[in-house]
Amino acid sequence: MPAISKDIASPVSPRLKLVYGFMKSYGECSAQGLLSLYSDKKFTLSTFPSSLKQPIRSKAETAAYYEKILPRLKTHQFLPWEIIEAEEKIVVLAGIRGETILEKPFYNECILAFGFDGPVDDPRIASITEFVDSQASKSIFTRRKSVEEKLRTRL
């Protein structure tokens, strides 16, 4: 089999750059950075499995959600295993490693499906459908009361 030339360019699409921006902004725990990537015309965040009882959120509802969860995180890092780019969607399979403000480490696994809006050369994220490890998610958020107490002492 012939060797693949190292000179072959691997262009990154504007949509993929947007997804990388999402992972970077989440890693910075920046609600403003995340929201700047989302469509103003339409945006939805859907979280599964349904056992987590998460509503489908609009952009405004997602902003309020981020105001609650991002201050609880000291660090948050996506560890993508695979990124699949199709014509209208990008799917990311990833681990998530981080630490709460109580210095409790956490690890979760997720599948994120991104839908897009806007021009091809300057898209915005129109939808995120996430499927997370419900057992890990529940264990992270069962510590919510302690985290909220620590947040109150910081204010």
Number of domains in the chain: 1
Given a cut of 70, whether residue 154 has pLDDT beyond it is no
Q: What is the pLDDT of residue 8?
A: 47
Query: What distances in angstroms separate CA 104 from CA 66, 101, 119, 152, one per listed residue?
Result: 19, 7, 41, 18
Check pLDDT > 80 for residue 23.
yes
Taking only the tens place, the pLDDT of each residue in 43-73 is 999 999 888 889 999 999 999 999 998 998 9
Evaluate whether residue 33 is within a structural domain. yes
Q: What is the pLDDT of residues 94-144, one digit of tens each?
A: 999 999 898 889 888 999 999 999 999 999 999 999 998 755 455 555 555
Give CA torsion, residues 143, 50, 65, 100, to 10 deg: 30
Is 82 part of a structural domain of the chain? yes
Question: Domain for residue 6, yes or no?
Answer: no
Domain that holds residue 137: 14-154
In-domain check, residue 144: yes
Supply φ then ψ for residue 107, to 5 degrees: -145, 140
**Given the structure tokens 């091809």, which residue do they identify?**
120
Q: Can you give the pTM of this predicted structure?
A: 0.81
